[in-house]
Amino acid sequence: MGKPVEVNDSNFEEIVLQSKIPVLVDFWATWCAPCRMVAPVVEELAEEYDARVSFAKLDVDQSPKTASQYGIMSIPSLIIFKNGSPVSNLVGFRPKADLKRSLDEVLE
């Protein structure tokens, strides 16, 4: 893929939960300044982890059902899913090294 895909309430299960490889989902909103700070980091990681991890973005204002289902209370929230289940949850802006460490743990 090499680039995060937009997901929403209607396609979340198909794109994220049924994925054969781990998926990092960036829960965000247009009005969220820290979300805008994490977006370029997620895009860089999408290129670096191409074919090993998928990356998705879910706008919590447009898809409140899915955000609520995963208990998203603060954004940005980054959840890594593996085999349809959340395995890592990072809340707030995190340095790229923290995100890489979480991704590498999931890939081990």
Residues with a catalytic annotation lie at 32, 35
Strand order in the sheet with 5-7: 5-7, 54-59, 23-28, 77-82, 85-91
CB 101 within 8 A of CB 45: no
Q: Within a 10 A sphere around the Cβ of 31, how many other Cβ atoms?
A: 9
